[in-house]
Structure 1
Amino acid sequence: MKSDSVPNRWLALLVLSLAQLTVILDSTIVNIALPTAQRDLAFSDSNRQWIVTGYALAFGSLLLLGGRLCDLYGRKRLFVIGMIGFAATSALGGAASGFTLLLIARIAQGGFAAALAPAALSMVSVTFAGNAAERGRAFGVFGAVSGAGGALGLLLGGVLTQNLSWRWCLYVNVVIAVLAVAGAWLFLRDRARPPRTRLDLAGTVLALLGLFGLVYGLGNAATAGWTALVTLGPVTLGVLLLLAFVLFERRVTHPLLPLPVVLDRDRGASYLTIGISGTGGFAVFLFVTYYLADTLKFTPVQSGLAFLPMVVLIMGGAIVSGAALLPRVGPRPVVTAGSLLAATGMALLTGLDAGSTYTSGVLPALLIIGLGLGMIFGPGQNAATTGVSPGETGVASAMANITQQVGGSIGLAVFSSLGATATTRYLTAHAATAADPATLAQATFAGYHLVFWIAAALFLAAALLAAGLYRPGPLATRPDTEPALTP
């Protein structure tokens, strides 16, 4: 059944985009609220990082399982369960009276998000199957939300924390969830599931523990350093478990992750470029935010507003490239050009110094990066879910979310560590004037510039991967052989 025969499909896309926005927002909105929440609930700096890490651990490690459950038990069903659970745990976190309850709520949020995110992306894929032009527009909108959600979280977090309370950074999810669940019952139509197979329990355990170890170790790297046992131990164990998972999946009858899903050239290229974009994006959101707050003395709300032009360009780039370019030329030139634009914008940010202004130093780079990210996320998510069999759209969608999530964890760990190292190295080399404010400022910029150059190199690598891996021409439109849509 083709997408143009699906009733209310654009309203369905609005519902699915709301859910995706909720998941992406939560990766940054809580960061803005954390200092205020810490003062209110009186927990330590060492505990503060766990409010972010707890969510990331549950989300990242359970995504593959969540995607498989979508395939086995129904995408719409997992969407509704994930949305209701996410809202309930958000309300619990907003009402928390202490650190422990807030941490439990954040971990539970991540668990429900691991069901919600692949359900939403796979529902976009099955709702807009068969019509390449409509599919391109739909993934353009969805990709715009994915790319812009982090920046919107910074703005919304600043507004809510400054004008209401940090608790509303969690309560706002309840408001969005009410709309999304009502819309799901009214407008979402799932495709009938293929005959249910057994869940690959051994593969599930290996994947869960492997992803947990990887995300946990990377989270520790930002604070403990790369050589610390709490970093190297979990990362090494996580990589070994994931290698064991891949070997096991080659032999099992009903694998948790059918390897052809990731070995396809177009999907493999999409997972890699989405992951690199998730890594590089942290250089923008984290270090540009530092620059706005510390050098330009922007308030949280002003910092959030400063990212709005980038958000507009992400949305514009994703929608235009998905609707006008992707159906004609395919993902290879679009994602390659988007990666080159993002690399150019990152290189421009290396010119920031104490005398730069927002309009001359920051804004031009943000506009170029925003356009580039839009051209990566929309077409990339489209290609990541194209051509999979009816029973594998959930796990293919989960892989797209995993690469973005793990990429973000890598970005946070690597850039925080390298930026701090570059700053320390500069101060050591200028020890005689290390206490001088001008020297301290230059040391800070040394860290910023190194991070932006590395991010530019990453996006350049993404461009080379996209040019080399994507097949030439438009995405092949697989004949629509999926079972009919069901309420």
Structure 2
Amino acid sequence: MTVPPSQSEAGAPGEHRPWPRRILAPLALAQFICSFAGSNMNVMIKDISDDLDTTVQGVQTAITVFLLVMAALMIPGGVLTDRYGRKRCLVIGLSVYGVGALLSAAAPGLGVLILGNSILEGIGTALLIPPVYILTTLLFTGVADRARAFGAIMAMGGVGAAAGPLIGGLITSAISWRAAFLFQALVVLVIIVLVRRLEDPLPPDPGCHFDGVGAALSATGLVLVVMGILVADDNGWLTLGLVLLGAAVLAAFFAWVRSRERKGVQALLPTTLFRNHTSNLGLVTQHVQWLVLMGVSFVVATYLQVVRGYSAIGTGVIFTASTVGMLVSSLGASRFARRRAQRTLIMVGFGTTIGGIGVLIALADNAHNAWLFTPGLLLIGLGLGLMLTPSVNVVQSAFPDDLQGEISGLSRAVSNLGSSVGTAVAGTILVANPAVGPYLTALVVLGAIGLGGLVAAARLPHDHPKRVSQAAAQAPPHLPS
């Protein structure tokens, strides 16, 4: 996406303008609540399953489907912003999300919870997150202002994702798990009121073509693959069939995109995005990072609640270690980027994260005191916070300005897909028989996947830190929801 000349001139260096907090506040809050929704349910697993008379696997399915709906619809959601307008899509997304949160709060059973939380909140998130980043790119035009704005949004997203278990645990223990969804609806209402003062700097483009077939094929393929992972414990043949069918649908999606490009017709995604070696490796690291983050979060939270009998608030307090680790390393990310190459930061991040998983494994049998989980969680938070932003910068800086919108959408979709796959893989191993053995197996699998991310990071090109940070400053970073 390119910024109009007048907008760029408005942000020229040397021009002193008041910092528009009223513009940034609703955008940052929108990222916060979506990140919060993706992580806070992990500490409510036992409370929800008991209240709705369902199983841990049922709650896991709701969490995974929410993340999957976001991943599947994020790219189409970005395309719709050009056609209908960024502010309009933001308000519609917030409204759908709010209805889903209220429906979830009143859910009498798992089916209604999946409809409200997994489907409606997932659709709402896919509609509202792309406008957040596009509006920030358009409204904050100077390099310094834009970096500051995205830093604030990423910080709020980090707080939402990392502190979700603690905030959710506090609300669940003090009131009820249902109150956590009412909290989300209340925040959404505040955002909608604040958004009224926003102005969309570009008019909608009703003539913008929407590739409906491409959107349907990509979403269907992703859903089939992840659902195949979810049923792995029940039926191996069904798993194989769903995964193979999903792969075939995704192959059909790429064939469809290529055929449209040969005809000169706009496709959902340009195939150019998949031909850059550096970007592809960066996308792999993003996918693995969020897979490991959500996988570890689900495994440890389930183990503490189901096997060790900890309450929601007790589990949330233990996860404060990862919250602190992620915030500390995230706050220093820009300073680290000026001194070290992005490749180095990503590799160190993976190494620290894998070390944290190793600590969790080593202390599993002897952790009679749950506080012994905190060293491993702290290392995992430090490692992930260190490498999230560099991975985004590697991907974004691999493409020119006119492809920033498309690569941002793809990057967010890949990251959210990692979140859903991580929850699915970890849950499939653990929920069938919640005990120390499956807990250790799930952590070993996640550690092995983390090693794969480290290998991908090692294959990234060597870049001088100043050159990479300058390129990154020109491209809008993001935090997956």
Q: Normalising to structure 1: TM-score of the pair?
A: 0.81
1:336 is aligned to 347
Tell whether 2:250 aligns with 1:242: yes
1:203-352 aligned at under 5 Å gives the runs 203-221=214-232, 223-225=233-235, 227-229=236-238, 231-252=239-260, 253-293=265-305, 297-321=309-333, 323-327=334-338, 329-352=340-363
Cα offset, 1:137, TM superposition: 5.0
2:96 is aligned to 85
Cα offset, 1:450, TM superposition: 3.3
Change (3 A) 1:50 1:457: closer
Tell whether 2:115 aligns with 1:104: yes
Cα offset, 1:260, TM superposition: 2.5
Aligned residues with identical type, % of pairs: 25
**Secondary structure of 1:199's partner?**
coil
RMSD across aligned positions (CA):
3.5
**Distance in 1 (alpha carbons) for counterparts of 2:160 and 2:301:** 15
Count of matched residue positions in the alignment of Structure 1 and Structure 2: 457
Q: Is residue 28–residue 154 contact of structure 1 (8 Å, CA) maintained in 2?
A: yes
**Distance in 2 (alpha carbons) for counterparts of 1:364 and 1:385:** 33
Change (3 A) 1:475 1:72: farther
**Secondary structure of 1:224's partner?**
coil
Tell whether 2:452 aligns with 1:461: yes
**Distance in 2 (alpha carbons) for counterparts of 1:479 and 1:347:** 35
**Distance in 2 (alpha carbons) for counterparts of 1:49 and 1:360:** 25
Q: Is residue 119–residue 394 contact of structure 1 (8 Å, CA) maintained in 2?
A: no
Cα offset, 1:89, TM superposition: 2.1
**Distance in 2 (alpha carbons) for counterparts of 1:121 and 1:49:** 29
Q: Is residue 48–residue 59 contact of structure 2 (8 Å, CA) maintained in 1?
A: no
Unaligned runs of 5+ in 2: 1-7, 477-481
Cα offset, 1:218, TM superposition: 2.5
1:168 is aligned to 179
Cα offset, 1:148, TM superposition: 4.9
Cα displacement string for residues 260-289 of structure 1 (whole angstroms, at most 9, x for unaligned residues): 234434543332111101111134212222
In terms of mean alpha carbon deviation, does 346-355 or 287-296 score higher? Answer: 287-296
1:447 is aligned to 438
Unaligned runs of 5+ in 1: 424-442, 483-487
Change (3 A) 1:178 1:350: same
Q: Is residue 25–residue 152 contact of structure 1 (8 Å, CA) maintained in 2?
A: yes
**Distance in 1 (alpha carbons) for counterparts of 2:475 and 2:34:** 31
Q: Is residue 82–residue 113 contact of structure 1 (8 Å, CA) maintained in 2?
A: yes
**Distance in 2 (alpha carbons) for counterparts of 1:319 and 1:137:** 12
Cα offset, 1:393, TM superposition: 4.3
Q: Is residue 418–residue 451 contact of structure 1 (8 Å, CA) maintained in 2?
A: yes
**Secondary structure of 1:247's partner?**
helix
One-letter code of the match for 2:75?
L
One-letter code of the match for 1:451?
A
Change (3 A) 1:144 1:254: same
Change (3 A) 1:92 1:451: closer
One-letter code of the match for 1:169?
A
One-letter code of the match for 2:335?
A
**Distance in 2 (alpha carbons) for counterparts of 1:228 and 1:469:** 37
Q: Is residue 24–residue 149 contact of structure 2 (8 Å, CA) maintained in 1?
A: yes
Q: Is residue 281–residue 460 contact of structure 2 (8 Å, CA) maintained in 1?
A: yes
**Secondary structure of 2:289's partner?**
helix
**Distance in 2 (alpha carbons) for counterparts of 1:447 and 1:390:** 46
Change (3 A) 1:256 1:179: same
Tell whether 2:375 aligns with 1:364: yes
Q: Is residue 84–residue 205 contact of structure 2 (8 Å, CA) maintained in 1?
A: no
Cα displacement string for residues 217-253 of structure 1 (whole angstroms, at most 9, x for unaligned residues): 23323x425x141x22222111111122122222322
**Secondary structure of 2:266's partner?**
coil
In terms of mean alpha carbon deviation, does 96-105 or 44-53 score higher? Answer: 44-53
Change (3 A) 1:478 1:362: closer
1:435 is aligned to none
Q: Is residue 64–residue 420 contact of structure 2 (8 Å, CA) maintained in 1?
A: no
**Distance in 1 (alpha carbons) for counterparts of 2:34 and 2:384:** 18
